[in-house]
């Protein structure tokens, strides 16, 4: 009895939480009929739906989610080419992209090869996340991207605000628990968010591609070079808050890191590890979308993790930590707080220089549950998104996992 009362209370609370945030969003739109401040000046038709999803023949709509700290995120909803949307949809699944990427990452190859399309074809109600600062997100209710404060966040806010508020939004619309898929930084965000009881209660199960929580064993030469030259401190000291590798500044920076120190002939390999199964003739097309901007503070947070080997909040230094967190060291995200009852599925690769196998063992040791594991010896970090064989190697297994945890009524 007490248990069911508690369960009802939890549902009501999360419902109110979501309702509250979408009402703020509605009020905001009403108050600014001239439109939301846009991150990049772009045409109204310049949306992810119009670029990659509608042209492939898939129904696609864009939703705007306002985070608790005022960012306006684009969330895309995609469904099957053949299905009838007004009939019952399959279970919702949220795709959460990685660092320097956005929702486009799930749609860059053909419909037969790309996870976003494949899930839609299998009848899932596909929701595509885009974090703050990326090309598809819509800025902030009062900050401009030129403001230093616009970029004052790291993956900690992406986890506790962006991911949490997107999950909440989808939950409030579909009234169903959600499957979550994360890649790379999307898994850092997921694991951090799942340690929070009010977020994880809205999640049915999760699939993690190249999961990261510990980063102490990163071996990518390009990344280690940036860590050793203290690039993170350098750029913040220079007053650079937005990290955009497409800017002139970003291009010069890449040149100076490569100069004589790292073999950048195969730049991607020196960042991610060797990817086995790319379609090389598509790289120019990928580069029309990647990389997306992120914040210098986020880079600094990631480098703190590489240096210290901890999965914790942003380290501001002793005094500010004490002020913000009430302790000298930043609080850790305790993976032991992720409920044992949350089904987890993990895919990882032997050539992944970012999500290292030793670091993954560390993660697994701290989880209460035993996730299902899929190991692909020749896969690098980006193969999990763009391998020409990913459907057979990875996605078919993921879908089988989701089906085994879905509600019995499923027709997907
Ligand atoms: C948006 O509209 C412009 C002008 O009509 C057109 O050139 C462009 O291709 C359109 N973009 C997309 C993504 O549909
Ligand atoms: C979609 O399903 C609804 C409800 O079953 C039906 O009324 C409608 O005609 C269908 N539309 C198409 C295009 O099949
Ligand atoms: C590789 O990309 C090209 C160009 O988009 C395409 O024609 C070809 O079918 C792709 N190959 C594979 C194996 O997917």
- Give the closest residue to 191 by CA, choosing from 337, 389, 20: 337
Indicate the average pLDDT of the chain. Answer: 88
Closest atom, ligand 3, to C-alpha of 113: 14
Q: Which residue lies with its CA nearest to atom 1 of ligand 1?
A: 45
pLDDT exceeds 60 at position 148: yes
What is the band of 255 on the pLDDT scale with cuts at 50, 70, 90? Answer: confident
Domains of the chain: 2-212+336-405 (3.40.50.1820), 221-325 (no CATH)
pLDDT for res 25: 42
Of all residues in the chain, the percent with pLDDT exceeding 70 is 86
**Which two tokens mark 112?**
């037969």
pLDDT for res 41: 59
pLDDT for res 398: 98
pLDDT digits (tens, 9 = 90+) for 219-249: 998 899 999 999 999 999 999 999 998 888 8
> Which class for 12: exposed (0-12), middle (13-18), buried (19 or more C-beta within 10 A)?
exposed
Residue 82 near ligand 2, beta carbon < 6 Å: no
What is the band of 86 on the pLDDT scale with cuts at 50, 70, 90? Answer: low
What is the band of 88 on the pLDDT scale with cuts at 50, 70, 90? Answer: low
pLDDT for res 407: 59
- Give the closest residue to 356 by CA, choosing from 330, 340, 336, 380: 380
Q: How far apart are the first and last CA of the chain?
A: 34
Residue 51 near ligand 1, beta carbon < 6 Å: yes
pLDDT digits (tens, 9 = 90+) for 152-167: 999 999 999 999 999 9
pLDDT for res 14: 45
Which of these is catalytic: 121, 312, 381, 387?
381
Model pTM greater than 0.85?
yes
Which of these is catalytic: 22, 137, 184, 190?
184
Residue 87 near ligand 2, beta carbon < 6 Å: yes
pLDDT exceeds 60 at position 110: yes
Which of these is catalytic: 352, 353, 356, 359?
352
Residue 213 catalytic? no
pLDDT for res 278: 87
pLDDT for res 42: 74
pLDDT for res 31: 33
Distance 135 CA to ligand 1 centre (A): 16
Give the rounded distance of the alpha carbon of 360 from its chain centre.
18
Residue 39 vs residue 283, higher pLDDT: 283
What is the band of 20 on the pLDDT scale with cuts at 50, 70, 90? Answer: very low
């Amino acid at each position: 009895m007490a248990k069911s009362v508690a369960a009802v209370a939890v549902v009501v609370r999360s419902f109110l939480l979501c309702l509250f945030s979408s009402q703020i969003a509605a009020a905001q739109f009403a108050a600014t009929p001239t439109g939301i401040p846009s991150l990049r000046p772009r045409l109204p038709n310049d949306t992810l739906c119009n670029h990659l999803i509608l042209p492939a023949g898939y129904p696609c709509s864009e939703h705007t989610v306002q985070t608790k700290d005022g960012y306006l995120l684009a969330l895309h909803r995609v469904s099957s080419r053949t299905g009838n949307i007004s009939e019952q949809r399959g279970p919702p699944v949220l795709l959460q992209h990685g660092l320097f990427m956005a929702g486009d990452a799930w749609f860059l190859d053909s419909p037969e090869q790309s996870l976003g399309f494949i899930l839609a074809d299998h009848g899932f109600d596909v929701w595509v996340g885009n974090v703050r600062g990326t090309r598809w997100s819509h800025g902030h209710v009062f900050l401009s991207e030129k403001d230093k404060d616009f970029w004052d966040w790291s993956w900690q806010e992406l986890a506790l605000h962006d991911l949490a508020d997107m999950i909440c939004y989808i939950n409030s619309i579909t009234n169903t628990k959600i499957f979550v898929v994360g890649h790379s930084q999307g898994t850092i965000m997921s694991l951090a968010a799942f340690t929070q009881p009010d977020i994880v209660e809205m999640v049915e199960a999760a699939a993690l591609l190249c999961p990261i929580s510990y980063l102490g064993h990163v071996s990518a030469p390009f990344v280690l070079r940036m860590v050793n030259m203290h690039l993170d401190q350098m750029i913040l000291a220079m007053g650079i808050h937005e990290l955009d590798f497409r800017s002139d500044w970003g291009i010069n920076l890449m040149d100076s890191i490569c100069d004589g120190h790292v073999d950048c002939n195969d730049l991607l390999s020196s960042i991610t590890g060797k990817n086995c199964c790319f379609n090389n003739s598509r790289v120019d097309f990928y580069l029309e979308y990647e990389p997306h901007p992120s914040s210098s503070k986020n880079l600094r947070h990631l480098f703190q993790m590489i240096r210290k080997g901890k999965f914790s909040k942003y380290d501001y230094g002793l005094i500010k930590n004490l002020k913000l967190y009430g302790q000298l060291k930043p609080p850790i995200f305790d993976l032991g707080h992720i409920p044992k009852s949350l089904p987890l599925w993990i895919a990882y690769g032997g050539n992944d220089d970012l999500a290292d196998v030793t670091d993954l063992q560390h993660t697994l040791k701290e989880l209460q549950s035993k996730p299902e594991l899929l190991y692909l010896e020749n896969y690098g970090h980006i193969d999990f998104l763009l391998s020409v064989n990913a459907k057979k190697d990875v996605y078919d297994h993921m879908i089988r996992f989701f089906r085994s945890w879905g509600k019995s009524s499923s027709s997907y």
